[in-house]
Amino acid sequence: MGQTLKKHFTSIQQKFLDEVRREPYLTKKFYLTGGTALSACYLNHRESEDIDLFTDAPFDNATIIAAMTRIITALKVKATLATIHERLRYDLAFPKNKLLKVDLVFYDFKHIEPVNALDGLSVDSIGDIAVNKLLALSQRTASKDFVDLFFLLKHYTIWDLRQAVEHKFKMDIDPFYLSALFAKAEDLTNMPIMKKKLSLEVLKKFFLKQARILASPLLKP
């Protein structure tokens, strides 16, 4: 599908990203990805509160912390920092109890499509986000990931994404295993705040049908 980017960020996301643009180290090294990139820049299908900034090259923690300290000072917010493996996680507390979680992550996988530019920021392609989402579902079964895949599968087939996962991550997601993952939609109890119409019932029905389709060739005698 086309790579026309939108700008449906929340006010605090926009304020944060405006400050990121002032930090050359961040803009040259990192790209915006994840659910917020998917919703704010491409699909505008649900609310997403976090900012995920990834890089495929190792980074210097001290340089990142210095840049983030300048951003935090400029925004006049309170912040806490946690280091989790190759990830720096900031929780930014804005006025009126508004919170923004920011993850800066070393993600050692090359893109399958070129990144896109948005006002001086690099944004992951929708194709790469889609592939990452399918892999994420193999590691967790959050309702937001099912919702994202529901809308992404209007543009890609499951087989497209399986093949792309193998290309990007050198990992084969077995159809029967994927069927079992999709069947876990039955256990979902809540939905993210939606911008496009989608009910929990419709979401479950869609993935349970996909689970049956994936499993059916494997169950034939």
For 187-213, what is the mean pLDDT? 97
On the CB side of 29, how many CA atoms lie within 13 Å of its CA? 19
Tell me: pLDDT of 218 over 70. no
The residues spanned by each domain of the chain are: 1-124, 125-221
Residue 214, SS3?
Answer: helix
DSSP 46-81: B----EEEEESS---HHHHHHHHHHHHHHHT-EEEE
Q: Note the Cα 16 to chain centre separation in Å.
A: 17
Q: In terms of CATH architecture, what is 1-124?
A: Roll (3.10)
pLDDT in tens, 165-187: 999 999 999 999 999 999 999 99
pLDDT in tens, 36-92: 999 999 999 999 999 999 999 999 999 999 999 999 999 999 999 999 888 999 999
The predicted pLDDT at position 207 comes to 98
Provide, for the chain, the percentages of residues in helix, strand and coil under a 3-state DSSP scheme, each rounded to the nearest 5: 50, 20, 35
Tell me: pLDDT of 2 over 50. no
